[in-house]
Amino acid sequence: MEIITVVVLFGVAAGLVVYSVLPRKGSQRDALKRRLAGRRAVDEVAQIRARARETAREQLVQRATPVLSRLIMPMSAEDQSVLRQKLIRAGYRHKQAQTIFLAGKTAVLVLGVIGGAGVAAALGYQLTGFLAVALFAGGFSFLAPGMWLDTIIRGRQDKIRRGLPDILDLLVVSVESGLALDAAIKRVGEEMERVHPDLSEEFRIATAESQMGIPRGEALGNMAERADVDELRSLISIISQAERFGTSIAKALRNQALAMRTKRRQEAEERAQKTAVKLMIPLVLFIFPAMGVVLAGPAAINLMEAFGNK
């Protein structure tokens, strides 16, 4: 009897030990929920902090931008119009683009003067040299944003110029398939968004203007003025003349596409012909001196040794 009691007590004790050691699903779920809740709380706090920093940064930029833009030299209405047109041609159509550009120009000017002064102080220049370096750095920093904007405009114009033949081909196919010119322009703007995004954007803006009630000729003229590309102006002029005289628009577009492809091929051939002339500069400056050293070096050493022995 005592042995049975001992065995029962031992079994109960072993069961309690095993029960306490083995993991329980409920506790695991509770622990997992607590960990997930804590992780979500940490993520939410991190997101709130990130949004707060971003909001504070945006507010700082919005408050500082008008102040910095007023520090630049006063601009007349004509200069402001020219700058706004340049920004539009570069693809910056935001209403605050002009203010942001002027603020950035002021910031770059200040940083340039400070950087030039720091370089001059590090090199140990006197007062005259110090002022000269600082003024030179400031002048270059003042002109740098304008040069950058001109570079962006030229790059965008080149992209539009290169994309015109492809756009014209699709436009011809759309018109010959039975679409009206407005629908064809809309379709081309949608289809060419990935291939030629800049030109596609101009076509979509022209389509939006037409849908808002602006005459198609005026909308296309606005597109030519925004892009400032001669080939695009020629295309719009041909479309206007074809509509005015009642000729076939598809035939006119096809002829224009052929002319643009011929012109692009001629430009490529011209660049290829200029390559030989452009290669002369690195050849003369870098390759010919090295070849001269390799070919004439041993002979020069032998001559020096021969004259030295005498």
- Sketch out the chain's domains with CATH numbers: 77-153 (no CATH), 158-269 (1.20.81)
CA angle 77, 94, 140 (to 5 degrees): 65
Q: What is the pLDDT of residue 17?
A: 46
Element of type H or E holding 185: helix 181-191
CA 234: distance to chain centroid? Answer: 28
Q: How far is CA 33 from CA 22, 25, 142, 288, in A?
A: 20, 12, 58, 75
Q: Which residue has the higher pLDDT, 30 or 87?
A: 87
For residue 95 the two structure tokens come to 């209403």
Per-residue pLDDT averaged across 120-132, rounded? Answer: 84
The greatest distance separating any two alpha carbons of the chain, rounded to the nearest whole angstrom, comes to 128
Q: Render pLDDT for 240-280 as a digit per residue (tens, 0 to 9).
A: 888 888 778 888 888 888 888 888 888 888 888 888 888 88
Per-residue pLDDT averaged across 76-91, rounded? Answer: 84
Per-residue pLDDT averaged across 178-183, rounded? Answer: 84
* Winning range, highest mean pLDDT, from 5-9, 64-68, 104-108: 104-108
Q: Could you say which DSSP state residue 196 is in?
A: S
User: In sequence order, which residues have a C-beta less than 8 Å from that of residue 29 and are 6 or more positions away?
Assistant: none
pTM of the model: 0.67
Q: What is the pLDDT of residue 52?
A: 62
Length of the chain (residues): 310
Strand, helix or coil for residue 248 = coil
Query: What is the separation, in whole angstroms, between the first and last Cα of the chain?
Result: 128
Residue corresponding to tokens 């110090």: 130
